[in-house]
Structure formats: structure tokens, C-alpha cells
Structure 1
């Protein structure tokens, strides 16, 4: 799917994903975080469902999505600005205790995934979780 798909179908995508039960997956991710006070990157945040969960749990969250239309909806939903950007251009260093990438890396080619994972590794703090 392309950014145009998400821009053109943002309302339907938002409505179909925002209430999905991710509790088991959240638990697995959170129990492996090295610090409860650190920051999480929601990479390809879509509706903002997951960013909102982490914000509600008290984490600081940076949310990123390529679709400006979906990012605007997610920003409103989570109560903070979602960065409109491409995960392939990720440029952080030693910043996040966790990077949450739920159904986002699947949009990349194999080479793009490998490069993006390298960028994620650089963005993670020591013992960070992807």
C-alpha cells in the first residue's frame, strides 16, 4: 500500500484500526523495556492507537507516519503532534528505550528494511527494544 492509499482511505483506516485489542502485544513489548521513564518511538503510527496507549501509560512518545492525512487524524486522537516523515530517513542517535513498529516495516523492500533496522538500532538506547 502506498501513502496515497492511506491519504485516500484515512477515515476508514482510522476507524478500522483504532480500537483493535493489542493488549497482549503491548505487554510483551513493555515487559522488555529497560526503563519506564524513557521515550518510545511509534514508527508508522497510523491511527495513533498504539501511541495513545503508551502515552496513557505515562511514556513520552514520538509518533511518526508518512501519510499527512493520517498523521493529522492521529495527532488529534493522541493530543500531540505526529511527525510526518519517512521511516527510511530516521535520524536519531541513542534516544529511545523502545521503537514500536506495528505493521509498518512490511511496507518496505528487503533492502529498505535492512537499512531502516540499522537506523532504528542507532536510535535505540543501550538495551532498547525494537
Structure 2
């Protein structure tokens, strides 16, 4: 994982992400979440999305694996933020939605299916799961961070083993200034009912 990087670069990461306009992504995701529903912000980073969702009246559970980012996210949002990994997170009750924006991409490919299965187990039947990955089909290590990149085929292969189906997927440029050329795969998945 890439926790050491975020521990050392927490302040600069916070500054580069906390105020990015994410409304286009929220507009795709939130129609699938019941009003006032419970959203888990998985790998919340700066807390940007948790704060926006809370301001819209959603119940939020946020967590991150970096102690420094947990502290910054708590300061930014005024919300409790748990310090834990994806595998350690357990919701006290089934939740409506998971928001994993640019976070699961740091999970090694060999562990990704297991991690996503664990998170999906926290969802109510028909709950929704947003995730985003840098667009590609390779694994990259850069500046102390690991990236598992996915394209549409890789996403299909990944969720073929999981109780999740694709509602929609689409590509976007990076929303941070100066990085628009970087491509992302966004996906909204639904937990299948048994």
C-alpha cells in the first residue's frame, strides 16, 4: 500500500485535493443513494467528499489508513474519521453506499478482489459502490505509491468474482488543475440481491 507516502506528503496532498470541484461525479453517484442515506467514504483522504455529502444531509462514515490524513480530514470536516485500512473497516449496520474515490487503486491487484468483497459485504442489498481507478491495465509504482490501473475489461474481470454488477462506467480527465490529460475510469456498481 501507499500509506507511508501519504503520511509524509499529507499536507501537500491535502492542499491539492481538498478543494477540487467534484460536482460532476456527485451528480452521477448521488441519484442512486436514498435521501439521507448512509455513505461510507472509503480512503477519504482530505475529507473533501465526506464534507460535501454531510452538507447534503447524508450520514457519513469516513476512514483512511494514514494517521496524518485522518487528522487533516477531521479538521477539515468536523466529522469523526476512523483510522483503519479497507480490510479493517466494518460498518455497525448495513449501509446504503460506498464512495471509494481514487483510493482502491492503491490496493495491489492480487488483493483487490478480496478487499472489494469485504467492502461490498457492508452494503445493503441493492446498495451502490462508486470506485475510480487510473485508466489502464498495468500496475505502476511511482514516488512511493502503488497504482493498480483498470480499464473496462479489467473492471469486468474484477467484479466477475464479486456480488456486484456495473450500473454504469465512464472515463474522465483528472479534475485537478494541470492534470486534465490523466484519464480515470469511474464505475458505479450495485450489490446483487441473493
The reply to whether residue 48 of structure 1 matches residue 47 of structure 2 is yes
Structure (1/2) with the larger helix percentage: 1
Match of 1:20 in 2: 20
For normalisation by structure 1, the TM-score amounts to: 0.93
Aligned-partner SS, 1:42: strand
Structure 2 unaligned spans of 5+: 130-194
Give the conservation status (yes or no) of the 8 Å contact 1:90–1:116: no
Write the distance in 2 (CA, Å) between the matches of 1:45 and 1:60.
14
Match of 1:85 in 2: 84
Q: 1:93 to 1:75 in 2, by over 3 A?
A: closer
Write the distance in 2 (CA, Å) between the matches of 1:17 and 1:46.
8
Write the distance in 1 (CA, Å) between the matches of 2:90 and 2:11.
29
Q: 1:80 to 1:94 in 2, by over 3 A?
A: closer
How far the C-alpha of 1:37 sits from its partner, in A, is 2.3
Cα deviation per residue 1:26-68 (whole Å; 9 max; x = unaligned)? 11110112x2122100000000000001001010100000000
Matched positions, count: 129
Aligned-partner SS, 1:88: coil
Match of 2:96 in 1: 97
Write the distance in 1 (CA, Å) between the matches of 2:87 and 2:111.
7
Write the distance in 1 (CA, Å) between the matches of 2:118 and 2:53.
22
Cα deviation per residue 1:63-115 (whole Å; 9 max; x = unaligned)? 00000011000001110121000012233375211100000000011232101
- Point out which structure has higher relative CO (alpha carbons under 8 A, 6+ apart): 1
Structure (1/2) with the larger strand percentage: 2
How far the C-alpha of 1:127 sits from its partner, in A, is 1.3
Match of 1:39 in 2: 38
The reply to whether residue 67 of structure 1 matches residue 66 of structure 2 is yes
Give the conservation status (yes or no) of the 8 Å contact 2:86–2:119: no
Superposed CA RMSD: 1.4
Match of 1:30 in 2: 30
Give the conservation status (yes or no) of the 8 Å contact 2:47–2:76: yes
